[in-house]
Structure 1
Amino acid sequence: MALSKKLLVEGEREVLTLRTHVKTMILSVVLLIVLCAAGGFLVAIVPDGDQQQWVRIAVIVIVLVLIVWWGVIPLVKWATSTYSITNRRLVYQHGFIARKGRDVPLTRVNHVTFDKGVIDRIFRCGTLTVYDASEQPGMVLKDVPHVEDVHRTLNELVFDAHEGPHDEDNRPGGADDRTER
């Protein structure tokens, strides 16, 4: 779900839209498999008797509630949460029925940091923290896929927002001022 075109102002273009890394869904998938297996096993071992049908229905209802709670809800949250970067701002939106979000204009960004733990390095993701000139704490974007690339792109956009468009020699990572010409 990309940033809605009606939210973009004139001259603003979307540069990047991403979701949290799919690794955040691993526990939910494992729980779904375990719940389905456990539910099937419990339904199969219900002893014969007058209450057999009601016990099976109770097991199925409990398993379905747990599947929705631990599987469907996290999937919907994952699918409806996005990080969008435009040439003017950083936008975090989340929510299915009611949408919430936070925008940080790139002109207000002081600095951007990223953090990658061991598991993050394996999955090629990390946490991006954007500090801006406001009283709110920094915007923390967890489990960002390819966090170094996003960090680099965001830094270039912040530089552009603060300094204006740059030429090849004035870009971060461009020619060094100390180099002889």
Structure 2
Amino acid sequence: MAYPDDLLSSGEHVVIHKHPHWKMLIFPVFWLLVVVALGTYLAGLVGDQSWATAAWIVLAVVGSVLIIWLTLVPLARWRTTHFAITSDRVMYREGVFKRTGLDIPLSRVNTVRFERSLMDRVLGCGTLIIDSASDEPIPPFDDIPSVEKVHSLLYREINDNPGDDFHPRTSDGRA
């Protein structure tokens, strides 16, 4: 899915757009399976009772609330979290009801590094750490899929950006 073009300035294009790694969805899927299995088991236990209809309604309501809270909310959070590198900046957006965003101009990026635990290496993700010329620290970007590829693309975009101070153009337009 391409990043919305209306959020980009003129002449800016998306180099890479990612959602967090699917490992963020492991526990929500686990809880979905637990709630469905437990609800089915409890519904079977009360099936022969005279008050079974009321118990099934209570089980359905409690199960629905748990599924929304433990599965659908994390899924929506995952779906609405975006990490994008454009030709001009690094963009991070997250949130369902309360949206927050962070934009880092490529010209302000000093260093880019990544970290991968053993589990991250097995799953193919990691943490991207960007240091900028800003006084405020930038939080690390966790669970970035293919973090080494993203790291390389970001580094290449920073160094190949012809408009930055490190690559001034000559009068004939060459770098």
Residue matched to 1:177:
none
Output the CA distance in 2 between the equivalents of 1:97 and 1:3.
19
In the TM superposition, 1:68-87 aligns within 5 A as 68-87=68-87
Extract structure 1 runs of 4+ deviating beyond 6 A.
Answer: none
Output the CA distance in 2 between the equivalents of 1:97 and 1:2.
22
Aligned-residue RMSD, C-alpha: 1.8
The reply to whether residue 17 of structure 1 matches residue 20 of structure 2 is no
Q: TM-score, with normalisation over the residues of structure 2?
A: 0.87
Q: TM-score, with normalisation over the residues of structure 1?
A: 0.85
Q: How many residues of Structure 1 are paired with residues of Structure 2 in the alignment?
A: 166
- What are structure 1's unaligned runs of at least 5 residues? 167-181
Deviation per residue, 1:53-90 (Å, 9 max, x gap): 21221111111111010100111111111101001100
Quote the offset at 1:49 in angstroms.
4.0
Letter matched to residue 100 of structure 2: K
Residue matched to 1:35:
35
Quote the offset at 1:17 in angstroms.
0.3
1:164 alignment partner, one of 156, 164, 167: 167
Output the CA distance in 1 between the equivalents of 2:105 and 2:56.
55
Three-state SS of the structure 1 residue aligned to 2:9 is coil
Output the CA distance in 1 between the equivalents of 2:51 and 2:122.
50
Output the CA distance in 2 between the equivalents of 1:33 and 1:126.
27
Deviation per residue, 1:106-143 (Å, 9 max, x gap): 10011111000010010011000111111221241111
In the TM superposition, 1:31-110 aligns within 5 A as 31-46=31-46, 48-110=48-110
Taking a change above 3 Å as real, the CA distance of residues 158 and 9 of structure 1, as seen in their structure-2 partners, is same
Output the CA distance in 2 between the equivalents of 1:132 and 1:36.
46
Residue matched to 1:149:
149
Output the CA distance in 2 between the equivalents of 1:136 and 1:73.
30
Identity fraction in percent: 37
Output the CA distance in 1 between the equivalents of 2:83 and 2:127.
12
Residue matched to 1:133:
133
Q: Is the 8 A contact 1:2 1:82 kept in 2?
A: no
Moved more, 130-139 or 120-129: 130-139
- What are structure 2's unaligned runs of at least 5 residues? 170-175
Q: Is the 8 A contact 1:43 1:60 kept in 2?
A: no
Taking a change above 3 Å as real, the CA distance of residues 145 and 77 of structure 1, as seen in their structure-2 partners, is same
